[in-house]
Amino acid sequence: MISPELLKELLRFRKERDWEQFHTPKDIAISLSIEASELLEWFQWQTHQQIEQKLQSEKREQLEDEVADVAVYLSYLCHDLGISLNDAVTKKMHKNAAKYPTEKVKGRADKYTEYS
Amino acid sequence: MISPELLKELLRFRKERDWEQFHTPKDIAISLSIEASELLEWFQWQTHQQIEQKLQSEKREQLEDEVADVAVYLSYLCHDLGISLNDAVTKKMHKNAAKYPTEKVKGRADKYTEYS
Amino acid sequence: MISPELLKELLRFRKERDWEQFHTPKDIAISLSIEASELLEWFQWQTHQQIEQKLQSEKREQLEDEVADVAVYLSYLCHDLGISLNDAVTKKMHKNAAKYPTEKVKGRADKYTEYS
Amino acid sequence: MISPELLKELLRFRKERDWEQFHTPKDIAISLSIEASELLEWFQWQTHQQIEQKLQSEKREQLEDEVADVAVYLSYLCHDLGISLNDAVTKKMHKNAAKYPTEKVKGRADKYTEYS
C-alpha cells in the first residue's frame, strides 16, 4: 500500500501543524469511520450501472480522495499503535480461512454465524 | 502497508470461494464502512486511560483484527478499481496542505470550512 | 416514534445500571453510528430480491432489533441535549425543500451541490 | 418522537420529487449510516469541554440538522417496512434487561459477551 516515504510525509504533516495532540487512538478511529462513510457516500443512491459511468467520469477523483483519507487514518493508527498491517492481515486471513472453509461457503455470502 | 504477495493471497481467497460475484464496488464500500465501525466499537465507552490498558491486554488482538478487515476491503477496492493508493494519498496530501496551511491551522482542529 | 412512557423506561434502564456516567454526548454519537452500521450490516451482500425474502423470514427480527438500537441512542441524545425531534425534523425539511426544489430535482438523485 | 403529521410530510416530500424509486430498504440503510456518521463528525476532535461550549453556540443547529437527518431515514425505513418503533424498542429493551442484569453490570461498560 503506502510507501515508507509517504508515511514520513503524513507524520511530518501533522507534526508541523501541531496536530498530534488531537490524534488519540479513539479519535483516529472516529475519523477513520467518518471517512469510510464519506467513501460510501460516493456510491449513495447509485445503481451498479450508474457507478460504472461515474467511475469513468471526472467524479472518480472524489472517490480516490476518500480512499486516500481512509488510508491516511489507517496509517496514523497503525504507526501510533505499532501495528504491522502485513502481520495483522496475514493473521486475520488465517482466521477467515478457518471460519469460512471453501467447501462450505463456495458461492454463498452468509456470515459465519449461519454455519453450524 | 500490505505486500504484493499478501494482495495475491486476498485475491486467491475470494476467487476459490467464488465470492467475486458479491464484490461490486458499492458492496465493498458498504463492507469497508461496516468494518471501520467495528474498529471504532473496540473503543466504545472507553476513556483514554482505559484504552491505554486495553492496548496492553489480550484484547489488543481484536483491534488488530478490525484493522486488518478495513485494510482487506480497502485492498480489494483499490485492486478492482485500479486505484494506486500511493498516488491517491500523495494527491490528497497536496490538497490537504493547501486547505490547511500551517500558519493558519497550527494547533487548531477546526474543519477547513471554518477558515475564510 | 417512541412514546413518553417508553422514553421513561430508557432513562430508568440506564439509571438503575449506573450507566449515565458513560453517556457523554460524544460517546452516544459514537454508539449511534455503530448501531446504524449494524443495521446496514443486515443488508450486507444482499441483492434487493434476497432482501425481500429475508424480510419475510425469522431474520426480520434482527433488523427490528438494530432499528430499535438506533432509536434508543437517538432518544438518549435528544433527551440529554434537550433537542425536540419534531422541531429539528420540521426545520430540516424546510431547508431540504429549499435545497431540492421539486421542479429541479424531480426523479434525480444528485446531491444539492450538483445543482448550480 | 416525530408526529404522524410530520411523517405525512416526509412521505409527501419524497413522492412529489419522484424519489421513492431510490428508496430501496438497502439504500435507506446506507443513507441512515451516512447521516449517523455526519452526526458523529460534529463531535470530531472535540474534548468534552469544547463540546459543552459548542452546544451553546450557533453551531448547535448543525447538530440538530444531523439528528433530524437520522430521524428522517429511520422514519422512512420503519414506514416502508411496516416496523412499529415502539414495539421494536420495547422488545429490544426486554432483551437488553436480560443481557445486562442490573446486579451484574451496575457501573460497568463491558459488552455482554464479557460476562460468562
Across the range D81-110, mean pLDDT stands at 94
The radius of gyration computed from the CA coordinates of chain C, to the nearest angstrom, equals 18
Distance CA(D29)–CA(D33), nearest Å, equals 6
Q: How many Å lie between the alpha carbon of A2 and the closest alpha carbon of chain C? A: 27
For chain A, the maximum distance between any two Cα atoms, rounded to a whole number of angstroms, is 53
What's the grid cell of residue B101? Answer: 496551511
Report whether B1 contacts A85 (CB < 8 A). yes
How distant is the alpha carbon of residue C49 from its chain centre? 24
- Any CB–CB contact under 8 A between A38 and chain D? yes
Instruction: Find, in chain D, the residue whose alpha carbon is nearest to that of C79.
Output: D1
Residues on chain A touching D24 (C-beta within 8 angstroms): none
Find the Cα–Cα–Cα–Cα dihedral B74, B77, B79, B83, rounded to 10°.
-90
**Predicted confidence (pLDDT) per residue in A38-92, tens digit:** 999 999 999 999 999 999 999 999 999 999 999 999 999 999 999 999 999 999 9
**Partner-chain contact A96 B25, CB within 8 Å:** no
- CB neighbour class for C36 (10 Å; exposed up to 12, middle 13-18, buried from 19): buried
Q: What mean pLDDT is reported for chain C?
A: 94
- Helices (DSSP H) in A19-100: which residue ranges? 25-41, 48-55, 60-81, 85-99
* Contact at CB, C17 and D107, closer than 8 angstroms: yes
Pick among B67, B104, B112 to test the A interface (most A CBs inside 10 A): B67
Is residue C114 predicted with pLDDT exceeding 80?
no
Which chain A residues are closer than 8 Å to D34 by Cβ? 37, 40-41, 44
Whether residue B51 lies within 8 A of chain C, CB to CB, comes out as no
Nearest residue to B55 via CA among A87, D105, D92, A26: A26
Subunit partners of chain C (3 or more CB pairs within 8 A): A, B, D
A30 touches chain C (CB under 8 A): yes
CB B84 within 8 A of CB A6: no
Range 61-80 of C in CB contact (< 8 A) with D? 63-65, 67-72, 74-75, 77-78
- CB contact (8 A) between residue C65 and residue D92: yes
pLDDT in tens, C88-104: 999 999 999 999 999 98
Q: Return the minimum-mean-pLDDT range out of A34-38, C4-8, C93-97, D106-110.
A: D106-110
Give me the interface pTM, i.e. the ipTM: 0.95
Other CB atoms within 10 A of residue A94 CB: 10
Residue in B closest to A91 by C-alpha: B65
* pLDDT-derived band at C116, boundaries 50, 70, 90: low
Q: How confident is the model at residue A1 (pLDDT cuts 50, 70, 90)?
A: low
* CB pair distance less than 8 Å for A51 and B21: no
Which of B27, B86, B23, C112 lies closest to A64, judged by CA?
B86
What whole-number percentage of chain D has pLDDT above 90? 85
Does A109 contact C30 at a Cβ distance shorter than 8 Å? no
Q: How close is the nearest chain A Cα to the Cα of B116, in Å?
A: 18
Lowest-confidence region among B62-71, C76-85, D82-91, D95-104: D95-104
Residue A116 has pLDDT above 60, yes or no: no
Block means of pLDDT (10 residues each) for chain B, length 116 residues?
Answer: 91 96 96 98 95 97 98 98 97 95 88 71
| Interchain CB distance below 8 Å, D109 and B45 | yes
pTM: 0.96
φ, ψ (nearest 5 deg) of residue C24: -75, 155
Residue D37 class from Cβ within 10 Å (0-12 exposed, 13-18 middle, 19+ buried)? buried
Asked whether the beta carbons of residue C93 and residue D9 sit closer than 8 angstroms, the reply is yes
Could you give the CA distance from residue D43 to residue A22 in angstroms, rounded to a whole number?
A: 12
Q: How far is D49 from chain C (nearest CA, A)?
A: 11
Residue where the block lists cell 443513507: D31
CB A100 within 8 A of CB A112: yes
